[in-house]
Structure 1
Amino acid sequence: MTLFCYVIAAFLTPAIFADLWAETERMPDLQQWRALCGHYTVATAYMKDSNARITVFAPVDDVFTYNPDIRALDQKETLSHIVDSQVVEITQGKKWEKQTLIRSTINSGYVYVTQFENNPGNFSYFANAGMMCNHASNQWGIISGEQYLFKICTPMGHRPYPGTALSFIREHDNTVFEERQYNNRDLSQIREILDIVPDIALVIYGSSAWNGFHTFFLPNDKAFARVIDRNRIDREVLLAHVTGTNRVLFTWPWLYDGGQHYYPSVRFSSNIIEDNFKLKLVMRNITDRRTGKYDLYAVSEVYERYSQFRRGAVWAKILVPNIPVQNGVVHIIDNVLGIVSETIDMLIYENPKCGILMRYINTIGQIVRNYFSATGGLVTFFAPWDEAFDRIPEQIERRLLRDRIWLEQILKLHIVPAKELTTDEINNETIVNTVDNMRQLYFIKGEWPVNNITYYVIGGGIRTAIMMENVAATNGIVHYIERVLGVPYQSLWEIMRNESRLQRSFEMMQNLQLRYALDPWQVLTPEQNFTFFCPVNEAWNGVAPSLVARMNDGNHWLALQYVYKRHVLQGQALMYTDLRERTYVMMNDEKVVIRRRGRFFELFWPRGNRRARVIEGGEIAGINGYIHMVEDVLIYEPDLRAPGCSTEPAVLQFVLIVTVMIWRPGWNRFLALFYPT
């Protein structure tokens, strides 16, 4: 038997002499599906006919438990789970040439079977929005005669609409939508626009199965009401709402792939017309970390200005997802993709997640808000969500609201003037200036897992992830972030504990008394302010292993603390922009020089002749000071014998002295005066 046969045998259970109806009787997790099919003669007949070449996508009992509405599926909806052919590609265990397969059902509908590659040779499969249980169950497929059955762990989606996307939009009979979770009542505007461009309406939106399948994002009437100039909505804008041929994308496959897949770019040339600009159409999931609820978005992003389109992305929330139609799937959205008609001020004002931000901006007045108006020129704005302000400690927030000058500096730190900065221009070397002309923004482009790219911005010692990127406005770009730049929310000790690049320093400091100074009970007091030049993990690789081992053997903890205090400046909280070429007295009363070498600063310890370069962009703000990451450690061998670093217990020292004095003859004669024999 070949290796391929072993692979197939591992997850498929062949049953040559039985039909699917008999097989499901012995499957404890398919009893709800069996009971549903038992209500309908056609479904039961197909499953009992072992010669019928069909493929059944059967929901397991958990799907019925968590989605009780599925128990009331009618006959047509039940038959939409049964394909009138064998989907043998699922059993082959290899990558498909086409990611999505289109198969007709026994009730003249369609099922869209999609393959995702988790990692080389490991795949996930979806039937419409239903995830197959190949990762959740060892026995997730059955072959019985000419019949195939695959278990699915999630519902397949909304009840299919019997016509095409165009007929769905133009449908006037309200009875068609009775007892369904969706309707077309709010699609009158797109209906009128499609009547103006019959070629797009018939060829793409009304295409038959012979002309290909698509994913359609349909804006509702409220979405068109947000467009100021209706003349800008033309055939190119309509095509921006449709994916390429045979790209049928349901939301559930995207959610359940663990964020490992990024849907491929969609160019207009993949449709009927050809244009010379690049447009990417994807679906995104944004989770509210406070509630755990997620919102689904369709995102159209243009990298080059063209015709009506600006650089940047237009985000549209998916209101009703996963409506299967005869030529693909329909998602109803709340914004018109591709068209930018709002200023930054309007975007953040209308965003329900930016209520606290608007309150802070209005506290300052027009000083900051002028940058966001139509006459303020091009800017890039990193807009904190409400949850970003919720992370700020209460005492810090009170000070921020009282100190208008500091609040103005913080808000200006989020604004990059005269630039439309999009993520395609960002890499780990990107540095940009802000409106305050003092501090700069640094960036990190992270990629984990593969193809799941997250961008981080660092400003004022705070690093935050960009949650919604490249949102286009008429006067610039908006990036929504999850933390407020320049406003600390952790102590220096908490920063070390959570920063992956400082874990070796954190582990070595856990048993030192210095940790209590870095994790204070009170904040915002001069006595509790520190500037800590903390060595990164790689810095300790340059220290002799024998020296590191002796420092951590438990007998030289005072010596190790003495070394760390050489990196700590007490009573001053210095930002990176506050560093100057001068000599400082560190916490262990030694002098350390901060000097500039090219574009970088470095620490120089004259007595030990040691240097440590300060990492640019390695500044982290805390509620009691700043941490600056350094690439080296100010340490040498004589630190083990530094004054005050003896760790022998005082009791043992006293016993040793007394023992020596007792054995001296003079000491014996002195004792004889008081204790004569």
Structure 2
Amino acid sequence: MSPFLFLLFLFSPIKPDLWAETERMPDLKQWRALCGYYAVATAYMKDSNARITVFAPVDDVFTYNPDIRALDQKETLSHIVDSQVVDLTMNKLWDKQTLIRSTINSGYTYITQFENNPGNFSYFANAGMLCNHASNQWGIISGEQYLFKICTPMGHRPYPGTALSFIREHDVTVFEERQYNNRDLSQIRDILDRTPDIALVIYGSSAWNGFHTFFIPNDAAFARVVDRNRVDREVLLAHVTSTNRVLFTWPWLYDGGQHYYPSVRFSANIIEDNFKLKLVMRNITDRRTGKWDLYAVSEVYERYSQFRRGAVWAKILVPNIPTQNGVVHIIDNVLGIVSETIDMMIYRNEKTTTLMRYINTIGQIVRNYFSATGGLVTFFAPWNEAFDRIPEQIERRLLRDRIWLEQILKLHIVPAKELTSDEITNETIVNTIDNMRQLYFIKGEWPANNVTYYVIGGGIKTAIMMDNVAATNGIVHYIERVLGVPYQTLWEIMRNETRLQYSFHMMENLQLRYSMDPWQVLTPEQNFTFFVPTNEAWAKQPQSLVSRMNDGNHWQALQYVYKRHILQGQALMYTDLRERTYVMMNDEKVVITRRGRFFELYWPRGNRRARVIEGGEIAGINGYMHMIDNVLIYEPDLRAHACTTEPVFFQFLIVCLVMVWRPGWFTSFFIFFR
């Protein structure tokens, strides 16, 4: 080497490398320790001239997912892309939602961009979410190297072939070091062999044809299909998203509410989007364990019989397997077709074992509605955790009283109707099979684009957790509470009900609250029918009157007003209300009348009316609560306090004067009564 080149090498600035940069980052200690186990990963991190992009999990990812600490060398290298992904630093909208880049171990990494709002983006590397929302310095550039922190696991190690080769793979040694295999995919392997055009062009597509998301049913999923002839090429296409939509679990669930994606249509050698059959991914959380399961949901795709409505839910057993033409998710159900009755569906569901025990308690009276010959019904099926919410004394009574149990189960069934969520509005009212009680619905939307449907029946409001599950004889909605079975006292209901917060805070200082929250329930004395004013009802009243009621000097007057709204000794459901005169808790008479389809409370002495809100019935352990839109109150109610307290004050004043005038009188009075 010449002296000039030696001096140039000696005094040239040393490029920093990512290995040295990570030493100063306390949240990348686990990633640095993992790379330190493998010479190849360490060499890439120390080579400042290597044009790579590293997606490094932060320490929290290792803490909440301990399996990542045991990644082998190839799985570790799948976090390193063999090129610079400069698109992540440009902060602008991409032409394509997903970028495909190869890793240094000959796999693929799919980088996805989502626009939260104009100019604000979120990025994902496979299933790993980049931590740009958690730190301002989320991109690290050192020499020719790029490093981005990720806050969720990226997913499994990429499979070196296409989705078709993954299904057809016979060499078991390929899966020895992997956390997944294709041992249970023999059925779809045989079906793809009978449809070579779909198998080669779609499932075996290369980068020239585009990338897809593949939902692959296992053998147990095909075992549930009664007629195997219905699984044809159209059903196979229902398991594949359209071109260039490579969607891992975290990006799909994070997609700002826009979760629906079209499946693929293939005819006359043309691959196009099929918006008539859309796919969506949902997550359901177990409230007891905190564990959440992922489901792939597709619309029903029936062609050989009458038009079917609803959706098919399939649990994702093995998510996020990158392949050379997209990503594979292994599921436990066949999408697009329906072959099970409601009875078969709830029988095999592990979340409805308690429901089946209750149904079998009363024999075939209710179960006949779920059979194949029972006709179309809509069934709101409570999960196991719904029965766990029921207090023990209520559950014992429910199992002992077969008539009440039958009424409760019938309350969950809507006859001769396939009620799907697209038909539900805040004005929807349907009859149940007992033709007496009705179900009401609420369509809640918070935050934006996150729609939750609620059903109200028998005074219980519950959220629909899994909606539109299609069966051959109807629709099933899985709910988190049992309709018609109370589990809280009236006081606890008021505390948790948003529309009753004003009434709740006004009753906190009243002795009446202990009657609403008794220690002993299911006794005649503790049964109440409470017509409780809503927040809007109190807002209609004169502010001066409401303020004086709550100034601390008129608690007895306020309690007297509330007792005018309470019927003691009777627990009346909405269907039990009749046009008659009732004697309320304060011994005043209130008349219940009907105006149109609504019930009204009429208080003759004060000439006040309050309408009973339809669907505002709430069942409690110690009675029923009905929301009303007005308050039975007027100005003279303030004198109820004066009539009860002021004479006591004057009597006490007279006794004091007598004691001063005749001092020995009080001693003689005390000895006499002793």
Give me the TM-score of the superposition, normalised by structure 2: 0.91
Indicate conservation of the 8 Å contact 1:16/1:145, yes or no. no
Q: Pick the aligned partner of 2:458 from 431, 435, 460.
A: 460
Correspondence for 1:263 among 251, 259, 262: 259
Give the aligned partner of residue 601 of structure 1.
599
Cα pair distance change 1:643/1:37, threshold 3 Å: closer
Distance in 2 between residues matched to 1:188 and 1:207, nearest whole Å: 20
The change in CA–CA distance for 1:188 and 1:299 in structure 2 (over 3 A counts) is: same
Corresponding position of 1:130: 128
SS of the residue 2:123 aligns to: strand
**Aligned pair partner of 2:143 in 141, 145, 149:** 145
Name 2:210's counterpart in structure 1.
212
Give the Cα–Cα distance (whole angstroms) in 2 for the partners of residues 408 and 588 of structure 1.
37
The amino acid that maps onto 1:552 is N
| Alignment check: 8 A CA contact 1:58 1:151 kept | yes
Q: Does 1:582 align with 2:587?
A: no
The structural deviation recorded for 1:406 is 1.3
State the 1:35 CA deviation.
4.0
Distance apart, 1:19 and its partner CA: 2.9
Q: In the TM superposition, what are the counterparts of 1:613-632 in structure 2 within 5 Å? A: 613-632=611-630
Range that drifts further, 177-186 or 273-282: 273-282
Match runs of 1:412-451 below 5 Å: 412-451=410-449
- What is the CA distance between 1:145 and its match in structure 2? 3.4
1:394 and 2:392 aligned: yes
Structure 2 equivalent of residue 511 of structure 1? 509
CA deviations on 1:492-540 (whole Å, 9 max, x unpaired) are 1111011111011000000101111111122222211111111111111
Q: Deviations over 1:322-370 (max 9, x none)?
A: 1111111111111111121111111111111211211211121111111
Separation in structure 2 between the aligned mates of residue 84 and residue 344 of structure 1, nearest angstrom: 51
SS in structure 2 at match of 1:642: helix
> Would you say the 8 A contact 1:379–1:416 is kept in 2?
yes
> Aligned equivalents of 2:327 and 2:548: distance in 1?
66
| Alignment-mate amino acid for residue 429 of structure 1 | E
Q: What are the superposed Cα offsets for residues 420-473 of structure 1, whole Å, 9 maximum, x if unpaired? A: 111111111111111000010001111122222111100011001111111111
- Whether the 8 Å CA contact 2:242–2:272 is kept in 1: the answer is no
Task: Decide whether the 8 Å contact of 1:535 with 1:630 is kept in 2.
Answer: yes
What SS does structure 1 have at the residue aligned with 2:289? coil
- How many residues in Structure 1 have an aligned counterpart in Structure 2? 651
Q: Quick one: distance in 1 between partners of 2:102 and 2:219?
A: 33
Contact 2:240 2:264 in 1 (8 A): no
CA distance in 2, matches of 1:469, 1:30: 41
Q: Distance in 1 between matches of 2:408 and 2:78?
A: 56
- The residue type paired with residue 641 of structure 1 is R
* Aligned mates of 1:669, 1:157 — CA distance in 2: 92
Report the alpha carbon displacement of residue 568 of structure 1 after superposing the two structures with TM.
Answer: 0.7
Distance 1:17 1:648, change over 3 A: farther
Closer, same or farther: CA 124–645 of 1 in aligned 2, 3 Å: farther
Aligned residue identity for 1:388 = A
State the percentage of identical aligned residues.
85
Matched-pair contact (CA < 8 Å) for 1:126–1:132: yes
Instruction: Output the amino acid matched with 2:22.
Output: T
Contact 2:603–2:632 (CA under 8 A) maintained in structure 1:
yes
Once the two structures are superposed, residues 201-225 of structure 1 have per-residue CA deviations (whole angstroms, 9 ceiling, x without a partner) of 1111111122111111111111111
1:462-477 correspondence runs (5 A): 462-477=460-475
* Distance change in 2, residues 1:385/1:583 (3 Å): same
Give, in whole Å, the separation in 2 of the partners of 1:586 and 1:119. Answer: 56
Q: Mark the CA change 1:56 to 1:647 in structure 2 (over 3 Å): closer, same or farther.
A: farther
Once residues 212 and 321 of structure 1 are traced to their aligned partners in structure 2, the CA distance between those partners, rounded to angstroms, is 20
- Unpaired runs of 5+ residues, structure 1, are 1-14
Query: Are 2:488 and 1:490 aligned?
Result: yes
Letter in 2 for 1:200: I
Change (3 A) 1:125 1:414: same
Q: Is the 8 A contact 1:410 1:485 kept in 2?
A: yes
The one-letter amino acid of 1:105's match is T
What do residues 145-167 of structure 1 show as CA deviations (whole Å, max 9, x unaligned)?
34321011222111111000000
31-40 vs 479-488, which moves further: 31-40
Partners of 1:619 and 1:328 in 2: how far apart? 51
**Distance in 2, Cα, partners of 1:295 & 1:205:** 26
CA displacement at 1:17 relative to structure 2: 5.1
Match of 2:346 in 1: 348
The residue type paired with residue 633 of structure 1 is V
2:479 to 468, 478, 481: 481
Letter in 2 for 1:248: V
Question: RMSD of the TM alignment (CA)?
Answer: 2.6
SS of match in other structure, 2:462: strand
Once the 2 structures are TM-superposed, how far is the Cα of residue 52 of structure 1 from its aligned partner?
Answer: 3.9
CA distance in 1: counterparts of 2:274 and 2:294, whole angstroms: 29
Equivalent positions of 1:275-286 (< 5 A) are: 278-286=276-284
Say if 2:86 is the partner of 1:83: no
Counterpart contact for 1:556–1:647, Cα < 8 Å: no
Distance between the aligned counterparts of 2:115 and 2:194, measured in 1?
Answer: 41
TM-score normalised over the length of structure 1: 0.91
**Does structure 2 conserve the Cα–Cα contact (< 8 Å) formed by 1:245 and 1:270?**
no
In 1, Cα distance between equivalents of 2:611 and 2:63: 60
Q: Distance in 2 between matches of 1:172 and 1:104?
A: 25
Match of 1:404 in 2: 402
Structure 2 CA distance for partners of 1:143 and 1:270, relative to 1, 3 Å: farther
Alignment partners' CA distance in 2, 1:101 and 1:505: 56
Structure 1 counterpart of 2:112, from 101, 111, 114 = 114
**Could you tell me whether the CA contact under 8 Å between 1:368 and 1:412 is conserved in 2?**
yes
Moved more, 352-361 or 564-573: 352-361
* More off after superposition, 581-590 vs 161-170: 581-590
Cα distance, 1:97–1:544 mapped onto 2, change above 3 Å: farther
Q: Which amino acid aligns with 2:486?
A: P
Q: CA deviation at 1:635?
A: 1.0
In structure 1, how many angstroms separate the alpha carbons of the residues matched to 2:217 and 2:210?
A: 22
Structure 2: tracts of 5 or more residues without a match: 1-12, 669-674
CA contact (8 A) 1:558 1:645 kept: no
Which range moves more in the overlay, 275-284 or 481-490?
275-284
Match of 1:327 in 2: 325
- Are residues 1:29 and 2:27 paired? yes
Aligned to 2:653: 656
Is the CA contact (8 Å cut-off) linking 2:162 and 2:206 kept in structure 1?
yes
Letter in 2 for 1:490: Q
In the alignment, is the contact (CA less than 8 A) between 2:431 and 2:439 conserved in 1? yes
Deviates more, 1:207-216 or 1:556-565: 207-216
1:265 offset after TM fit, Å? Answer: 3.3
Residues 122-271 of structure 1 aligned to structure 2 (within 5 Å): 122-254=120-252, 257=254, 261-269=257-265
Do the aligned residues in 1 keep the contact of 2:262 with 2:274 (CA within 8 Å)?
A: no
Residue 122 of structure 1 and its aligned partner are, at CA, apart by: 4.1
Instruction: Give the partner amino acid of 1:217.
Output: F
1:398/1:48 CA distance change after superposition, 3 Å: closer
Asked if the contact 2:443/2:451 (under 8 Å) is kept, the reply is yes
Q: Which stretch shows the higher mean deviation, 55-64 or 441-450?
A: 55-64
1:337 is matched with 335
Deviations 1:88-139 (A, max 9, x none): 3323334444332222223332111123445555443221121222233343
> 2:528, 2:568 within 8 Å by CA — same for their partners in 1?
yes
